[in-house]
Amino acid sequence: MNTHPLQSRVILVTGAGSGLGRHAARAFAAQGASVLLLGRNERRLNGVYDELVAAGFAQPAVIPFDLSEADEPRFQALAQMIEREMGRLDGILHSASHYVKLGPLSQQHLKQWQPTFATNVFAPFGLTQACLPLLNESPDASVLFTAEEHGLKPAAYWGGFGVSNAALIALAKIFADEHAQQPHLRFNVLIPGQVASPMRNRTHPGEVGELLRQPASLMETYCYWMGPESAGRTGEIIRP
C-alpha cells in the first residue's frame, strides 16, 4: 500500500490557517505533498507551517492573502508566483469561507453579501481560472471546492451564506462540464456536513462540539479526492 500517494505533488489550500483547511493541509503533507498555505491571518499560517516542519513533512509555503479583496491581477500574480517558486501545481482545496449571520432576507444587506460572495464565489472562480494553465500541465490535477449543505437545500434564514454556497456548487459543476474531455483535470464539491469546525460553531452555536464528527475523520476522504485514486471522477457532490 502506498502511504505517500501525494508524493511530489504541490497543493494549494485556502483557509489553511484554521478549521478543515488546517487539518487538510496536514493530511496532504503527511501523504507527501508540498503544501501552499493561503489565508488572511499570517500568525495562524505560521503556526501551521511550524507544525508541518516539526512533523518532518516537506517544507510548506506561507501565502498571506485576503481573498475578499483580490482581483484578477492579484490572482494572476499569485499563479505566476506559484509557477516561479514551485514549478507546478497539482491541486487546489478551496476551504476558505466567509459567513453571513443567519436571518431573514428582509434584514440582510448588500454590504454583508459583498464580502461573502467575494470570498465564497468570486475568489474560487478567479483563483481557479488563474491557475488553470498550471493545472493543465499536471498529469493528474484535482480542484476540490468545500461547500455547506444549504447550498444544495436552500432554506429560510440562510440568506447570503446559503445563496453563495449554491453559486459555488454551480461554479464547480460548470468547471467540471467545461473540462469533461480532459481526464487529467477534475473538479468536485465536498460538503463536510455536521463536523466540529469554526464555521459550524457560527452556523450552529448551540451544538456541543464533542458530539459532532471530528475533522480527522474526514481526512481520508479529502486525500482520496485530491489524490490519484479519484482520477476520472469529476462533477460530483461528495457528502462523507
Helix, coil or strand: residue 218: helix
Domain of residue 219 covers: 10-238
Question: Does residue 91 sit within a domain?
Answer: yes
Instruction: Report which residue type is found at 125.
Output: F
What is the pLDDT, as a whole number, of residue 101? 86
Residue 56 to residue 50: CA distance in whole angstroms? 10
Length of the chain: 240
What is the pLDDT, as a whole number, of residue 240? 87
Residue 102 to residue 105: CA distance in whole angstroms? 9
Residue partners of 18: CB distance under 8 A and separation at least 6: 39, 41, 44, 198
Specify the DSSP element, H or E, that contains 9.
Answer: none
Over residues 211-233, the pLDDT tens digits come to 567 888 999 999 999 999 999 99
Question: Does residue 170 sit within a domain?
Answer: yes
| Number of domains composing the chain | 1
Question: Does residue 99 sit within a domain?
Answer: yes
Mark the ranges of the chain whose per-residue pLDDT is less than 50: 208
Over residues 198-209, the pLDDT tens digits come to 665 666 665 545
Question: Does residue 143 sit within a domain?
Answer: yes
Question: Does residue 1 sit within a domain?
Answer: no
Name residue, grid cell 489565508: 39
What is the pLDDT, as a whole number, of residue 88? 98
Over residues 41-62, the pLDDT tens digits come to 999 999 999 999 999 999 999 9
The pTM for the full model equals 0.93
Question: Does residue 190 sit within a domain?
Answer: yes
What is the pLDDT, as a whole number, of residue 195? 72
Q: What is the dihedral of CA 50, 68, 21, 33, to 10 degrees?
A: -70
What is the pLDDT, as a whole number, of residue 99? 87
Question: Does residue 2 sit within a domain?
Answer: no
What is the pLDDT, as a whole number, of residue 197? 63
CATH of the domain at 165: 3.40.50.720
What is the pLDDT, as a whole number, of residue 215? 87
Question: Does residue 4 sit within a domain?
Answer: no
